[in-house]
Amino acid sequence: MTLPKFFTTVTPLSKVLAIFLFVSLPFLGYYLGNKYIPNIPADTTTTIVEKTSESWVKPISTDTIVPIVKDGLLNIYSLTQKVLQSTEYKTSWGSGASGLGGDAPISSPNGKLIAFINRGDSSNLYILAAGTQKAIKITNYPVEYLNSWSSDGSKILFYSGKDNLEVRKISEGMGADPVWETIEKFGKDSVPGFHVFNVNNGQDTHLYPVSTSFNFFDSNRIIVELKQDPNSHDTRLVLFNVETFEADYKTVNYPIKSFGRQMSFSADGKLWARTVDDGSTDTGVRITVSQFPSETGDIVETAPWAFIQKPLLNSSGRFLAYTKHGEQIKDGQYAGQYPDTTVIWDSLSKKIIKILPGFPEHWVDENVLLIGRVEYGNNPTNFTSFDLFNTNTGQIDSFSVK
């Protein structure tokens, strides 16, 4: 087939038209494409995330609660209703490992959330919101220890041990004959070591650079202890940021002496309290409160070794609670001999304002301290009653778990 000549002849006009289309069509396509496709914001996050739950919904709390373990079950005490309620969840109370954490439930700083290890579900991590009875399953792998909450209550630090066929059966046996005729499922995302879970966005982050940790220092940093010298008991403290994965080796620029690992911090990280045994006193140990990271500050009390322990600062750092062994309470407060007492010290007056029987457990809020009490001669972890002491009013609310 022969085309007419005007279809095949190249003219100056056809050249201009071809050049115009060749240049303009790409720009036209780019313009129309931008009009059609919506803008997508850039991802600016720097967090190293192991798992993010896309369906995660932040728990809503309607009460303030305290976790109590009774007969192997999680119980919660409502501060507003002043009643002790039982739950269906099996958990533990009392054991732990230095530098890793403990197996007892721990409440967030504001008492709105409780993190616990569910022994009835392969030791997975659960979170219970105040005012609810249904806990939320967080992990699909076993958790060995709970370490601490961040100061703003947005993150929970915990430790996951090695999970394999042998460990699973040994942990189930607990000295008895393990049950072998079962079918058990293992989580594909189980990674041994420290993890941090963010309750705001449902992110589970594996902290692979961290092998030990005391607790959270503030809302994003945790305290890590490193051995300075294999031939010495002295250690160094490192601040590790769980969001940016930056390790600060320089803020604490001196070695921590032996027995200095009992410490706590105010919510803003500006004050710290610790038990110090550096050989400078004849009587043994002392508890101090000072500006972080200074070594010098107020000496709260000095006593023989192990007679004073477990310093706990409240969120502002004004009040300090600690355990004193073998203290006798008199002068109208309490009479009789108690094996252990809780001492409460006020940083403003620089004085001890209260001595109560029992062990200081944790600060429920800025003013209220939870104290666990046992009958004389019982295991210190088997609390039979609790006191809630209010430093603002001096009021003591007591409840029994017998």
Q: Which two tokens stand for residue 347?
A: 């940083």
Closest CA to 272 of 296, 253, 302: 296
Looking at residue 161, the DSSP 8-state letter turns out to be: -
- Find the largest Cα–Cα distance for the chain: 122
pLDDT at 352 over 70: yes
CA distance 326 to 357: 10
CA distance 21 to 24: 5
- CA neighbours within 13 Å on the CB side: how many for 78? 16
CA distance 228 to 21: 72
**DSSP E strand stretches across 133-202:** 136-137, 145-149, 155-160, 193-198
Q: Which residues pair with 125 in a beta bridge?
A: 117
* Other C-beta atoms lying within 10 Å of the C-beta of residue 248: 14
Give the pTM: 0.77
The predicted model gives 179-185 an average pLDDT of 76
pLDDT at 49 over 80: no
Contacts of 319 (CB under 8 A, 6+ apart): 313, 344, 345, 346, 347, 363, 367, 369, 391
Closest CA to 217 of 238, 244, 196, 245: 238
Q: How confident is the model at residue 4, as a pLDDT? A: 55
Mean pLDDT computed over every residue of the chain: 80
* C-alpha dihedral sign at 346, 347, 349, 350: positive
Q: How confident is the model at residue 276 (pLDDT cuts 50, 70, 90)?
A: confident
Q: How confident is the model at residue 277 (pLDDT cuts 50, 70, 90)?
A: confident
CA distance 174 to 164: 16
Q: How confident is the model at residue 36, as a pLDDT? A: 41
For the chain, give the number of residues. Answer: 402
Q: How confident is the model at residue 42, as a pLDDT? A: 32
* C-alpha dihedral sign at 292, 293, 297, 298: positive
Q: Which of 2-6, 58-62, 202-206 has the highest mean pLDDT?
A: 202-206
Q: How confident is the model at residue 335 (pLDDT cuts 50, 70, 90)?
A: very low
* Percent of the chain whose pLDDT exceeds 90: 47
Print burial letters for 340-365: b (CB count within 10 Å at least 16), e (below 16). Answer: bbbbbbebeeeeeebbbbbbbbbbbe
Q: How far from the centroid of its chain's Cα atoms is residue 102's Cα?
A: 11
- Tell me which of 247 and 278 has the higher pLDDT: 247
pLDDT by residue (tens digit) across 142-167?
899 999 999 999 999 999 986 667 76
* Other C-beta atoms lying within 10 Å of the C-beta of residue 194: 26
Q: For the chain, give every domain's residue range.
A: 47-173+187-256, 260-402
- Tell me which of 302 and 22 has the higher pLDDT: 302
Q: How confident is the model at residue 325, as a pLDDT? A: 81
pLDDT at 116 over 70: yes
The predicted model gives 41-58 an average pLDDT of 49
pLDDT by residue (tens digit) across 14-38?
655 556 555 565 555 555 544 443 3
Tell me how many degrees the CA angle 253-345-66 measures, rounded to the nearest 5.
95
Using an 8 Å Cβ cutoff, are 269 and 292 in contact?
A: yes
pLDDT at 172 over 90: no
Q: Where does 260-402 sit in CATH, by number?
A: 2.130.10.10
Q: How confident is the model at residue 290, as a pLDDT? A: 95
pLDDT at 367 over 80: yes
Dihedral, CA of residue 116, residue 273, residue 342 and residue 101, to nearest 10:
20
Q: How confident is the model at residue 373, as a pLDDT? A: 84
Q: Which two tokens stand for residue 330?
A: 């008199």
Burial of 110: CB neighbours in 10 Å, binned 0-12, 13-18, 19+ = middle
Q: Which two tokens stand for residue 224?
A: 């890590």
Using an 8 Å Cβ cutoff, are 216 and 149 in contact?
A: yes
Using an 8 Å Cβ cutoff, are 321 and 308 in contact?
A: no
